Amino acid sequence: MSNMSYCRHENTAADLAEVIDMWYDGAESKEEAKARRYLVKLAKEIVKLYEQDTETVDDLVVATDDSNA
């Protein structure tokens, strides 16, 4: 299911937090392993895009920490 544009980042952030919580939960199918590799590729691209709009990756960490306060 796609996210509504007004809450897309909020919902995706919650989903990614769940992925991190479950990262070492054990066996996964070939499809899940492929999706995990794709997720890592997308995460790297997100960081790269964010860096274009900020000074450093540290700005990303601060922004993330602030949004969870």
Regions in the chain scoring below 70 on pLDDT:
1-2, 55-69
pTM for this prediction: 0.66
Q: How far is CA 63 from CA 9, 22, 26, 47, in A?
A: 13, 24, 31, 12
At residue 53, the pLDDT reads: 79
At residue 5, the pLDDT reads: 84
At residue 69, the pLDDT reads: 45
Pairwise CA distance, residues 44 & 47, whole Å:
5
